[in-house]
Structure 1
Amino acid sequence: MLAVQLQRHARPDLACAAVEVPEPGAPAPGEAVVAIRAAAINPADLLIFEGRYPGPEELPAFVGIEGAGEVVAVGEGVDLAPGDHVLSLGRANWAEKVTGRAEQFIRIPKSLAWRDAAQLKANPPSAHLMLEDYIDLQPGDWVVQNAANSAVGRHIIRFARARGLKTANIARRPALIEELSALGADVVVTDDGDVPAKIRAAAGAEAPIRLGIDAIGGDATLALADTLSDGGTVVNYGFISGEPCRMSSYHTVIHGLSLTGFWLVGYMRSTPRFEIEAMYAEMARAFEEGVLISPVEAEYTLAQTAEALAHAHAEGRGGKILLTPNGPL
């Protein structure tokens, strides 16, 4: 069978290769074997392949953050059954089949489309938790974010709208203004010129903007801080710019702003299993009820991994890139 291996740190389409590996044997007690049906290519995957994000300590290594599939075999003492649909919490999911401890897998509804299940693990909970865990937001409050066209950014727009929150969104291209507005964004501005002034002009000078969500770092963090109301918080979850987050003492001392970080891995390590299961059940419902909308632009087989990674790395995409290890969905 095929599995994707990170062989060196380089441009993503040059860093990885699909290699032949043995089929899994019978699962040991406490283990399950899962046939991966779909896996989204996540921006964090691309950063790992470039050597700019925490990943395998030794190469070559099997990779893939996202992955959802069907249980095909279980060992003794496992509360899963062949035919169950599951989300894999491992980080080597780009393979036709994966074997792991049963606790590595979370059962998901069979009614959830594979294209949605493939994107369930990382981006929806990140968006949800950043909206929920840092500021006690009330209906009518505002959230400002950069990288608004990212998958996390789009989920933030949809979750915020469902909660009665308003979003001010910073995007790179003018062409995205209409698209993000149709998704539910209240304000969309481009990242050129005086971004805080544009947002304040659109949202209102006295609008309560208490939460900023930052995927970029560097001067982009500073722009969010300049937009926030006194006592607000910037939550940084990415470093697209490769630069440290910037915020001055003027922001923290005079305006009482704070800067904190979010990493889903840290949340997963510190959260009881029953809470994680409940959170993913909520994320699955959000897809099935139409709260979350995440289009797929293209699907590739594992043998086409290099093409898939080149596509995922390109700018101007209109949806997620998926790998389908066991054939078309």
Structure 2
Amino acid sequence: MSRPITRRALAAWAALPLASPALAQARWPDRPIEIVVGFAAGGGTDITARTFARFLQDALGGSVVVNNRPGASGEIALAAVARARPDGHVLGITNMPGLVTLPIERPTPQFKLDDFAYVANLVSDPSAFSVLEQSPIRSIQDLIETARRAPETVTFGSTGIGTDDHLALVLFQAASRARLVHVAFQGAGPLRTAMLGRQLDVAGLNVGEVASTANGLRMIAQGGATRSPFAQGVPTLREAGVDVTMGSERGIVTARGTPPEILARLREATARIVQDAAFRQQVQAQFTEMDYLDGPAWRARLDEADRRFRNLWQTQPWSER
């Protein structure tokens, strides 16, 4: 015989949905965490993501998987993160300047800076100009003279429109008055393959991507404000007489609206990871530089970069809308 439902029972049931978010957060992560990479496997961004994933897995005690979703210079992956359920189970590894420049250059961008919660920036890696070992182009001045003699015949490959490699080319052309032909790829892996296959004259790969696996490539200039510790023998563009600085920053974001408790756990885990001697050793082995910045400070730096690139777009638009 069933008992009548009391007011006390009804009140208890009504309270259950209010308690469930806290319960879910206490059990978080309750399924594998995914890190979405916007470029093909084998490039610097992918390698950074996979290194971070191994340490994050240990820090959180759950499974972490990496999912490569290349295309549209990283926009497809970042849009997927922005649209993901805001529960901290889907993370994205970002590239600056693409994180900032893609919403500026595209008429209907699939994401904006406000679509994300910012965990931390991890590393930086200066842009670099590289040629084949046997190339007659031995220096930036050689490249400038060659391109001026035969405008729009020298080919330059980048990892996508709006990436640091592409913007390094845009600024280089404006500063040197040399005109090259831009060819965009879906990541460093395909770009390196094309370069080694003699399909390009110059590759826009980051210092770490060349220094770690040179494979017949030779850097002729790097885009940092100072020389990278991993390429001390390579002059900066400024040292070579071209007033340009550019590089890639790689950080971790998740969807806006992620509960504060989960975001705090992600930030705390990341802060521990970047202090781990083993992680720092692996970053160094990948020829990239530590550049840790916690979420709020990183977002402030991105807002400043957004202002700079919006001003650049007004004077030197780097793509056609």
**TM-score, normalised via structure 1 length:** 0.31
**TM-score, normalised via structure 2 length:** 0.31
Q: Which has the larger radius of gyration?
A: 2
Q: Which is bigger in relative contact order (C-alpha 8 A, separation at least 6)?
A: 2
